[in-house]
Homo-oligomer: A and B are copies of this chain.
Amino acid sequence: MIDAIVCTIGDEILIGQVVDTNSAQLAQALEEAGIHVKRMISIGDDRQEIASVLQDALARHAIVITTGGLGPTKDDITKPVLGQISGSKGYVVHPGQLEMVHKILAKRGLDVLPSNLAQAQVPDRAEVIVNKLGTAPVMVFRNVQGGGTLYALPGVPHEAVGAIPDIMKDICSHQPTESILHRNIMVYGMAESALSERIAPWEDALPADMHLAYLPNPLTGIRLRLSVYGGNAEENRIRVEEQMTRLKSLLGPLVYADKDSDLETTVGELLVKGGKTLSAAESCTGGEIAHLITSVPGSSAYFLGSVTSYAVSVKEAVLGVPSSTIENFGVVSSEVAAAMAEGVRRVTGSDYAVSTTGLAGPSGDERNPVGTVWIGVAGPRGTRTVSYCYKNDRKRNIERFAASALNFLRLILQEEL
């Protein structure tokens, strides 16, 4: 198996102002291609440190990937260091990236400054993969000092993540990689430890060449990935499908997608299939549900809109929640969740509506602890509600509330459509 080193460059990481998420994204992609990440290293914007860490890594490993240090400002010094260790004699302008710099700045309505143009200059030993999302190109230095190949990616997370497919393609076309088959399913509604316990007998009986990975995420639940390394691709496909059928029967309705997906995409697919529309009424989730639903391209085909009713006055005036319901049961209650869902369904004329009312924190109210949420779903066959209590901080509670609401809606749509 081929080893790789992932290296993050930037003072902001070392003083703890920014959490490095690029390395995990790269590691996932490398792992899926059967490449083993041996170490992750974060270093500062320091010439000597960058040179010594990268030279050492390249001498010992086939692949070294860096992110960061490629911006147009003075503290970004990675490019000259790469020029030096790669034995480049000078800089050349890459016409493709230069065009992209002009395009990006024109689209943003900005003047092209000398520092922008310098972004398209690369050490003459670099091959360039044009970065379409930003001005700094992705640079590839092959067999540096007779050793490994270095990929230098920009540090801005969406640019780094955006470059992953291109560099993985390059890596796989230059390295002897093993055949690997990955098969994903998406699960929501059970903690990782409980899930692990439930499927332990199945997991323990897996053939030696199959490996199950748990990839948990607060917004999407747990992605279960079954992988086979090596062997015959077609045979593996059949063997993996057999195992997956067993796994899915153990998990039942916890499985919401038979592929890598997320709850908002699944909900959208169900609504499109059934030809139905959706609206939302949010209190504690404050727009997160609408944000997730509308992050799916094409969501305007089924999502009509939503009301974020943070104030009681908005619950009453816009959604028509009776003030007596709020007085009798409290804002965070099954009754108010139901009235909110029914209210936004009536106001928007949608087929289905989902609602949330709860306490994300930091403070609770006199009736409920922090982390309590009531979720409502109103539809042609009536209204249902459910309640959960999570023990996280505000940000994480909002995510859990929104995901749980989408999952409750998903279960009802699967039943009714």
Question: Distance in Å from the Cβ of A184 to the closest Cβ of chain B?
Answer: 9
0/1 string, A18-57, CB within 8 A of B gives 1: 1111011111111100001111111110000100010000
| Cβ contact within 8 Å between B193 and A115 | yes
Question: Distance in Å from the Cβ of A362 to the closest Cβ of chain B?
Answer: 5
Distance between Cα atoms of A145 and B194 in the complex (Å): 37
| Cβ contact within 8 Å between A317 and B390 | no
**A89: which B residues are within 8 A, CB to CB?**
none
Copies per assembly: 2
Contact of A294 among B214, B286, B392 (CB under 8 A): B286
Q: Is A323 an interface residue when CB atoms closer than 8 A count as contact?
A: no
| Cβ contact within 8 Å between B291 and A197 | no
Q: Is A272 an interface residue when CB atoms closer than 8 A count as contact?
A: no
| Cβ contact within 8 Å between B40 and A42 | yes
**Nearest neighbor of A360 in chain B, beta-carbon distance:** B294
| Cβ contact within 8 Å between B314 and A310 | no
0/1 string, A201-222, CB within 8 A of B gives 1: 0010000000111111010000
A14-B41 contact, Cβ under 8 Å, with A107-B371, A108-B390, A314-B348 = no
Question: Which of A120-128, A240-248, A249-257, A301-309 sits within the interface?
Answer: A301-309
Q: Is A147 an interface residue when CB atoms closer than 8 A count as contact?
A: no
**A44: which B residues are within 8 A, CB to CB?**
38
**A109: which B residues are within 8 A, CB to CB?**
389
Distance between Cα atoms of A108 and B390 in the complex (Å): 6
Q: Is A135 an interface residue when CB atoms closer than 8 A count as contact?
A: yes
Give the dominant DSSP class at A's interface.
mixed
**Nearest neighbor of A347 in chain B, beta-carbon distance:** B318
| Cβ contact within 8 Å between A300 and B307 | no
Question: Distance in Å from the Cβ of A26 to the closest Cβ of chain B?
Answer: 7
**Nearest neighbor of A310 in chain B, beta-carbon distance:** B305
Question: Which of A67-75, A91-99, A375-383 sits within the interface?
Answer: A67-75
**A395: which B residues are within 8 A, CB to CB?**
158, 295
Question: Distance in Å from the Cβ of A155 to the closest Cβ of chain B?
Answer: 10
Distance between Cα atoms of A197 and B119 in the complex (Å): 14
| Cβ contact within 8 Å between A311 and B300 | yes
Pairs across A and B, CB under 8 Å, 10 listed: A12-B225, A14-B40, A16-B26, A16-B30, A17-B216, A20-B24, A39-B49, A107-B390, A285-B291, A297-B362
User: What are the nearest 10 A-B pairs in CB distance?
Assistant: A286-B294, A287-B290, A16-B27, A287-B287, A16-B28, A107-B391, A305-B314, A287-B291, A40-B42, A304-B311
